[in-house]
Chains A and B, each alone.
Chain A
Amino acid sequence: MPLDWTGTPGALLNPLLAASVGLWLTLLALRLVAALVAVWRATPVAPGLRRASLWAGRALGLVTCAYVLAGMILPAGTTGIVGGVIARFAPAILTVATVIGLSVGLRRRLGVFGLPFHSTVGTIGAALVLFWVVTALLYGGFGLIATHDPLRPISSLRNALPGSPVPEAGLYPHYLLGGDSLARDVFSRMVAGSVIVLTIAPLATLTAVLVGLSLGLPAGYLGGWTDRVLSFAANLILAFPVILLFYLLVTPEVASSALPPVMAAVLFGAPLAFVAVLVHSRLRTQPGRNALTLAAVLVPLAWLWAAVVSQAGTPVTFLPARLDPLDPDRGLLVVFVAVVFVNAPIVFRIVRGLTLDIRTRDYVAAARTRGETPAYIMLWEVLPNARGPLIVDTCLRIGYTTILLGTLGFFGLGLPPESPDWGSTINEGRKLLLVYVHPALPPAAALLSLVLGLNLLADGLREQSMADR
C-alpha cells in the first residue's frame, strides 16, 4: 500500500501547520511593510507586531517539532512519507540537536569554535552544515539513513511516485521519495550524494586555499615582478568563463591526455611546498629539530602526493604499483583539478589584498628589523593576522565549490553518469521535469540547504569577527 504524505499524525498536525504558516507569513509581510513605513516616517515600529510575529514563529517551530517527534516515536508506516524520512534521519537529527544544544550552552568556553553560536543566523547555519556532515559520516561509515542501494534499480518502480511500496521482500518497504527514471530510490541517492559532495567540496577548497596562500603571500609581500606576473596569471584565469574552462578541461579527450595529471601534480605540489616552508622558516635556527620535523611532515605528505598524482595506465606513472594504494577515479581527479584551478586565483586575490594591507603594520616592521627572513614574516606574522577574513571566505568558498560541483554534474561533466552526487541527479531529474517532479527536487533541496548553511555560518562568523574589533 502506498504511503500518503503525513499519515496519522497529519490529521491533527496538518491544519495546525497550515494555520501557523499562514499566520506567520502574514505577520512577516505586515512587519516588512511596517518597517518600510517606519523608516520613511522616521518613527519606531509598534512593538506589538514584532511580538505577535515572534509568537507565530514559535508556534510554527512547535508544530514542526511535533512532526519530528511523531516521526521518531510512532511506528514506521503510520506516519506517512514525512514521518518515514524523519525516522530515517533520526540519528543525524539527534546528533545535530545534541551538538548544537551543547555548543550554544558552552559557547563562551569553546573559544573560536563557539563563535558562530553567538548569533541565531550562525547557529542555524552550523546546524544545517552539521546535519549534512553527520549524514555523510553515518551513511559513508555505517550505511545508516539510506533505505536502499543508491545504484540498484527495482524495475517496476521506474519514476514511481513518493511512497510507492517496494515489491521485493526483505528490503525497506517503500521508496520514500519515489524512484528515478532508472528505477533507483531517490531518497537513498540523495543521502549517498552527500558523501561525494562533502568529500570533494571541502578538500578541493582546502587545496585551492593553500595554492592561493602559497602564491598570494609572496605576491602581496614581495610586490614587484613577482606580483605583476602572478596577478596577470590570476586575472587570466579569472577572465575565462568558468563553464568554458570546465568544458575544455573535462571533455573525455582532454581528460585522457597528460594535462590533468600534470595540473594535479602542480596544484597538489603547492600545499607540499607551503608546509615545507612553514616548518623550515620557523625552525631554521634549530637544525636538528628542523630536519626531524621536516622529515616527519614531508615524507607522508610527499608519498600522499605521489600516490594521488601517479596513476597506472596513464601518461603520468612513476610510483611502483606496490607503493600506490590510492588510485582516485580519473573523472574525479579531473573534476577536482578543474574546481581547484577555478577557485585558486580568487583566493590568491583575497590573500594578496590582505597581505598588502598587513605588511604596513608595525609588527611586520619590527620583525624585519629583527632580521627575520621574508618567508618567516609571511607565514608567521602576516598569515596569522589574516586568519579572520580567510576563515570566513573559506566557509563561503566551500559553498561556492559545492555549487561549481553541481554545475559540473548538471552538464554531465567528469563524474560517472550513475554517480549519485546532487548535480548529476538534478541533471537527470530535470530531463523529465515536466512530467515527473519528484526525482529532481530532493537533491535540489539538499544542495540548497547545504550551501545556505555554509553562507549563514560564514555570515555568523563575519558578524562575530567584526564585533571583536
Chain B
Amino acid sequence: MTLLTHAFRGLATLVLTALCLTYVVFWLTHLAPNLEKLARTQGSARMADDAVVTWLANRGYDQPLPVLYGQWLGVLLGSVVTGTDGEVRARCADGAAPATDTPPRCGILQGDWGTSTVLRDDVGQIIATRLALTGKLMGWVLVLMVPGALVMGILAGMREGGRLDRGLSTVSILTTATPEYVSGVVLIAVFATGSFGITWFKGTATAAMDDATFANFTLPVVTIALFGMGYIARMTRASMAEVMTAPYIRTARLKGVRFRDIVLRHALRNALIAPFTVIMLQIPWLLNGVVVVETLFNYKGFGWTLVQAAANNDIDLLLGVSVVSVTVVLATQFLSDVGYALLNPRIRTGAA
C-alpha cells in the first residue's frame, strides 16, 4: 500500500515536472527574437518589422503564451485565424483553411507533433526514425559499459585499499576525467587516421546508420561507454566495499567459506542494488555523450537531430526532442526509485 501511494505521488510529481519543463522550452523557443527569426526564414528574409508582426499574427503566434501552449499540448481548441490578408488559417489544418475533417484539437496528446520547418517532415516521423538509430547506438553502449563497469567495480571493491583496487580506481578516474569530445578525438586520431600507423576503424559512423559493422561502429560506442564506465565502476566499488564489511560477510568468513564463494554467493547480490539505480540515473547523462558523439562521428541519430533543431530554432522539432528527452530523464528517475524499492528487501518490507 505504501509502495502504491509512493508510486502514485512519484507519478504526479513526474507529470508536473514534465509540464513545467516543456513550458520552459516552449517559452524559450517562443521568445520574440526567435519568432522574428521564424518569420524571416519562413516568410521572406527582407520583411519589414511591421510585416513580421502581421505575418506572426496571421498565423496565430500573437496569442498569449499559455494559450499557445495549451493548443500545442492539445487541451485547448486549435486556433482558426482570419488573417489581415483575408485568408483563413487553422492550426489543425497545417495552416490551410479548416475543412470538415479538421479535428478541433491537435497537440501532443492527440499524437500530432507538428511539422519541422527545416527538415520539412512530420516531427513524430523524424523522431521515431532518429530515436531508433540512437537506440541501436545506446544498446551497444550498454552491452559494453554495464558488464565492464560492474566487473571493474566488484574486483576493486572486494578488497578495499588493495593493489587491484588502487589500479582499477586510477583507471576509472582516468575515464571519468576524459569527456567524450576528448576521447573521441584521440581515438579517431589514433585508430582511424593512420597518423600512428593504425587504421583499424573508421572515423565516421555515417555508414553505420544503415549497416553497422565492427569497423564503423566501434569508436562511437567505445567513446560513450568509456566516459560512463568510470562512474558506474566507482559506485559499484563503493557499494561492494560496504557490503564486504557487513557482519554477515564476516560470519561467512569465520565459518571458513572460500573467498570466491563469499564474493559470488553472498556479497554480489546485495552489492548490485546501488549500481542498478546508478545505471538508470546514468542514462540521461549518456544523452549528453550521445549528442557529442553523434556530432563528432556524423551519425544522424537523436542527438544530431537535437543539435540541428536547436541551431535552427526549428520550434516544433525542438519541442518534440525536448518532450522525448525529458520523458527519458523522468522515466529513468522513476524506474530507479521503484527498482530500488523493489530490489532492496529493507525498503520492500517497510522495515526501514
Tell me whether B321 and A244 are in contact (CB under 8 A). yes
Which residues between 226 and 253 of chain A lie within 8 Å of chain B, taking CB atoms?
232, 235-236, 239-244, 247-249, 251, 253
**Minimum CB–CB distance for B184 against chain A, Å:** 8
Interface status of A444 (Cβ within 8 A of chain B): yes
Residues of A within 8 A of B322 (CB): 244
Partner of A254, one of B33, B155, B186, B296: B33
Tell me whether B260 and A406 are in contact (CB under 8 A). no
A403 and chain B: residue at smallest CB distance:
B179
Tell me whether A437 and B195 are in contact (CB under 8 A). yes
**Minimum CB–CB distance for B77 against chain A, Å:** 28
Residues of B within 8 A of A249 (CB): 28
Residues of A within 8 A of B174 (CB): 452
Q: With A35-B164, A455-B176 given, is the CB distance from A241 to B329 under 8 Å?
A: yes
Q: Interface segment, A187-195, A377-385, A427-435?
A: A427-435
Over the window 57-98 of chain B, the binary record of Cβ atoms lying under 8 Å from chain A Cβ atoms (1 yes, 0 no) is 000000000000000000000000000000000000000000
Q: Majority SS of interface residues in chain A? A: helix
Bound-state CA distance A256–B32 (Å) is 11
Residues of A within 8 A of B259 (CB): 39-40, 42
Tell me whether B159 and A39 are in contact (CB under 8 A). yes
Interface status of B44 (Cβ within 8 A of chain A): no
Interface status of A45 (Cβ within 8 A of chain B): yes
Bound-state CA distance A452–B313 (Å) is 36
Interface status of A172 (Cβ within 8 A of chain B): no
Interface status of A411 (Cβ within 8 A of chain B): yes
Q: Interface segment, B48-56, B125-133, B284-292?
A: B284-292
Tell me whether B288 and A253 are in contact (CB under 8 A). no
Tell me whether A45 and B182 are in contact (CB under 8 A). no
Partner of B177, one of A247, A427, A437, A455: A455
Residues of B within 8 A of A243 (CB): 287-288, 291-292, 303, 306-307
Interface status of B17 (Cβ within 8 A of chain A): yes
**Minimum CB–CB distance for A21 against chain B, Å:** 15
Q: Majority SS of interface residues in chain B? A: helix
Bound-state CA distance A254–B33 (Å) is 7
Interface status of B205 (Cβ within 8 A of chain A): no
Partner of B292, one of A256, A407, A459: A407
Bound-state CA distance A448–B179 (Å) is 8
Which residues between 172 and 195 of chain B lie within 8 Å of chain A, taking CB atoms?
173-174, 176-179, 181-182, 185-186, 188-189, 192-193, 195
Tell me whether B33 and A455 are in contact (CB under 8 A). no
Tell me whether B185 and A40 are in contact (CB under 8 A). no
Which residues between 287 and 322 of chain B lie within 8 Å of chain A, taking CB atoms?
287-288, 291-292, 295-296, 303, 306-307, 310-311, 313, 321-322
**Minimum CB–CB distance for A315 against chain B, Å:** 12
Over the window 445-469 of chain A, the binary record of Cβ atoms lying under 8 Å from chain B Cβ atoms (1 yes, 0 no) is 0011001101110010000000000
**Minimum CB–CB distance for B267 against chain A, Å:** 13
Partner of B193, one of A31, A32, A251, A434: A434
Residues of B within 8 A of A406 (CB): 179, 181-182
Q: With A240-B21, A407-B288, A437-B195 given, is the CB distance from A39 to B182 under 8 Å?
A: no
Partner of A247, one of B32, B186, B258, B310: B310
Partner of B186, one of A403, A407, A444: A444
Q: With A240-B21, A253-B37 given, is the CB distance from A39 to B164 under 8 Å?
A: yes
Tell me whether A240 and B181 are in contact (CB under 8 A). no
15 contacts between A and B (CB under 8 A): A32-B167, A35-B167, A36-B155, A39-B164, A239-B326, A242-B288, A243-B287, A243-B292, A253-B34, A257-B33, A259-B31, A406-B179, A430-B181, A448-B178, A451-B178
New A-B contacts (11) at CB < 8 Å, excluding given A243-B303, A441-B185, A452-B178:
A35-B163, A39-B259, A232-B17, A240-B329, A247-B307, A248-B28, A251-B311, A410-B292, A411-B307, A430-B296, A440-B185
